[in-house]
Structure 1
Amino acid sequence: MEIRIGIVNAPRELSFETSQPAEQLTEQVETALTNGGGVLKLTDDKGRLYVVPTAGIAYVELGTEESRRIGFVG
Protein backbone atom coordinates (compact mmCIF):
# COMPACT_ATOMS: atom_id res chain seq x y z
CA MET A 1 0.00 0.00 0.00
CA GLU A 2 1.30 3.45 -0.86
CA ILE A 3 1.32 6.11 1.87
CA ARG A 4 1.77 9.83 1.32
CA ILE A 5 2.16 12.23 4.23
CA GLY A 6 2.01 15.98 3.69
CA ILE A 7 4.20 17.98 6.05
CA VAL A 8 3.32 21.56 7.06
CA ASN A 9 5.68 24.14 5.49
CA ALA A 10 7.51 21.47 3.48
CA PRO A 11 7.52 21.62 -0.34
CA ARG A 12 7.55 17.82 -0.77
CA GLU A 13 5.52 15.02 0.74
CA LEU A 14 6.81 11.85 2.38
CA SER A 15 5.90 8.86 0.18
CA PHE A 16 6.65 5.16 0.62
CA GLU A 17 5.22 1.63 0.24
CA THR A 18 4.23 -0.64 3.13
CA SER A 19 2.69 -4.09 3.44
CA GLN A 20 0.55 -3.18 6.47
CA PRO A 21 -3.23 -3.45 5.96
CA ALA A 22 -5.27 -0.25 5.56
CA GLU A 23 -7.24 -0.82 8.78
CA GLN A 24 -4.05 -1.04 10.85
CA LEU A 25 -2.57 2.08 9.24
CA THR A 26 -5.76 4.07 9.79
CA GLU A 27 -5.79 3.05 13.44
CA GLN A 28 -2.13 4.07 13.89
CA VAL A 29 -2.72 7.48 12.30
CA GLU A 30 -5.87 8.16 14.34
CA THR A 31 -4.16 7.16 17.59
CA ALA A 32 -1.12 9.36 16.89
CA LEU A 33 -3.25 12.37 15.98
CA THR A 34 -5.65 12.11 18.94
CA ASN A 35 -2.90 11.72 21.56
CA GLY A 36 -1.62 15.23 20.76
CA GLY A 37 2.03 16.21 20.77
CA GLY A 38 3.13 12.72 19.80
CA VAL A 39 4.72 11.12 16.81
CA LEU A 40 3.51 8.82 14.05
CA LYS A 41 5.76 5.80 13.50
CA LEU A 42 5.43 3.79 10.30
CA THR A 43 7.63 1.13 8.67
CA ASP A 44 8.05 0.62 4.92
CA ASP A 45 8.53 -2.60 2.93
CA LYS A 46 12.32 -2.35 3.24
CA GLY A 47 12.25 -2.12 7.04
CA ARG A 48 12.97 1.62 7.30
CA LEU A 49 11.27 3.43 10.17
CA TYR A 50 9.63 6.81 9.57
CA VAL A 51 8.95 8.99 12.62
CA VAL A 52 6.82 12.07 11.90
CA PRO A 53 5.82 14.63 14.57
CA THR A 54 2.02 14.82 14.55
CA ALA A 55 2.09 18.61 14.94
CA GLY A 56 3.64 18.87 11.46
CA ILE A 57 1.21 16.56 9.61
CA ALA A 58 -0.95 18.35 7.04
CA TYR A 59 -2.57 15.20 5.61
CA VAL A 60 -2.16 11.43 5.31
CA GLU A 61 -3.18 9.68 2.09
CA LEU A 62 -3.51 5.90 1.97
CA GLY A 63 -3.39 4.40 -1.53
CA THR A 64 -4.79 1.18 -2.87
CA GLU A 65 -3.60 -2.19 -1.66
CA GLU A 66 -2.80 -3.61 -5.09
CA SER A 67 0.82 -3.63 -6.16
CA ARG A 68 2.17 -1.69 -9.11
CA ARG A 69 2.41 -3.47 -12.42
CA ILE A 70 5.70 -3.51 -14.25
CA GLY A 71 6.01 -3.86 -18.00
CA PHE A 72 3.91 -3.14 -21.02
CA VAL A 73 0.18 -3.71 -21.31
CA GLY A 74 -0.69 -5.40 -24.55
Structure 2
Amino acid sequence: MEVKIGVQNTSREITIESDESPEEIESTVTAAFTNSTPLRLVDSKGSVVLVPSAALAYVEIGAPRRGGVGFGML
Protein backbone atom coordinates (compact mmCIF):
# COMPACT_ATOMS: atom_id res chain seq x y z
CA MET A 1 0.00 0.00 0.00
CA GLU A 2 1.23 3.47 -0.82
CA VAL A 3 1.57 6.04 1.96
CA LYS A 4 2.26 9.70 1.17
CA ILE A 5 3.53 11.97 3.94
CA GLY A 6 3.44 15.74 3.56
CA VAL A 7 5.98 17.65 5.63
CA GLN A 8 5.50 21.33 6.52
CA ASN A 9 7.72 23.85 4.73
CA THR A 10 8.87 21.19 2.24
CA SER A 11 7.80 21.14 -1.40
CA ARG A 12 8.15 17.37 -1.82
CA GLU A 13 6.24 14.62 -0.09
CA ILE A 14 7.64 11.35 1.25
CA THR A 15 6.16 8.30 -0.47
CA ILE A 16 6.65 4.75 0.79
CA GLU A 17 5.22 1.32 0.02
CA SER A 18 4.11 -0.44 3.20
CA ASP A 19 2.99 -3.98 3.95
CA GLU A 20 0.87 -2.78 6.90
CA SER A 21 -2.91 -2.50 6.71
CA PRO A 22 -4.59 0.92 6.43
CA GLU A 23 -5.88 0.50 9.98
CA GLU A 24 -2.38 -0.17 11.36
CA ILE A 25 -0.96 2.88 9.59
CA GLU A 26 -3.81 5.10 10.77
CA SER A 27 -3.30 3.88 14.33
CA THR A 28 0.45 4.64 14.12
CA VAL A 29 -0.20 8.15 12.76
CA THR A 30 -2.85 8.87 15.41
CA ALA A 31 -0.53 7.69 18.20
CA ALA A 32 2.26 9.95 16.91
CA PHE A 33 -0.06 12.98 16.98
CA THR A 34 -1.58 12.09 20.35
CA ASN A 35 1.75 11.46 22.10
CA SER A 36 3.76 14.13 20.22
CA THR A 37 6.27 11.48 19.21
CA PRO A 38 7.91 11.01 15.80
CA LEU A 39 5.91 9.14 13.17
CA ARG A 40 7.77 5.86 12.54
CA LEU A 41 6.84 3.78 9.52
CA VAL A 42 8.64 0.80 7.98
CA ASP A 43 8.48 0.37 4.21
CA SER A 44 8.09 -2.93 2.38
CA LYS A 45 11.90 -3.27 2.02
CA GLY A 46 12.53 -2.82 5.75
CA SER A 47 13.71 0.81 5.68
CA VAL A 48 12.52 3.01 8.54
CA VAL A 49 11.09 6.50 7.98
CA LEU A 50 10.93 8.87 10.95
CA VAL A 51 9.14 12.23 10.76
CA PRO A 52 8.62 14.57 13.73
CA SER A 53 4.86 14.71 14.37
CA ALA A 54 5.00 18.51 14.75
CA ALA A 55 6.27 18.75 11.14
CA LEU A 56 3.51 16.63 9.59
CA ALA A 57 1.20 18.42 7.17
CA TYR A 58 -0.80 15.35 6.09
CA VAL A 59 -0.65 11.57 5.70
CA GLU A 60 -2.44 10.00 2.74
CA ILE A 61 -3.10 6.29 3.04
CA GLY A 62 -3.74 4.59 -0.31
CA ALA A 63 -5.75 1.51 -1.07
CA PRO A 64 -4.11 -1.88 -0.49
CA ARG A 65 -1.79 -2.76 -3.36
CA ARG A 66 -3.00 -5.42 -5.74
CA GLY A 67 -0.80 -7.84 -7.63
CA GLY A 68 1.24 -5.96 -10.20
CA VAL A 69 1.97 -6.77 -13.78
CA GLY A 70 5.29 -6.20 -15.49
CA PHE A 71 8.96 -6.15 -14.76
CA GLY A 72 10.27 -5.97 -11.21
CA MET A 73 7.36 -7.78 -9.62
CA LEU A 74 8.22 -10.67 -7.34
**Pairwise CA distance, 1:67:** 2.8
Name stretches of at least 5 consecutive residues in structure 2 with no aligned partner. none
- Larger of the two Rg values belongs to structure: 1
CA distance in 1, matches of 2:47, 2:13: 17
The whole-number CA distance in structure 1 between the counterparts of 2:62 and 2:26 is 12
4+ long deviations beyond 6 Å = none
Report the 3-state secondary structure (helix = DSSP H, G, I; strand = E; otherwise coil) of the residue aligned with 1:60: strand
Percent identity over the alignment is: 39
Q: Matches of residues 1-74 of structure 1 in structure 2 within 5 Å?
A: 1-36=1-36, 38-67=37-66, 69-71=68-70
When normalised by structure 1's length, the TM-score is 0.88
The two structures, once aligned, show a CA RMSD in angstroms of: 1.2
Task: Structure 1: give runs of 5+ residues left out of the alignment.
Answer: none
Q: How many residues align?
A: 70
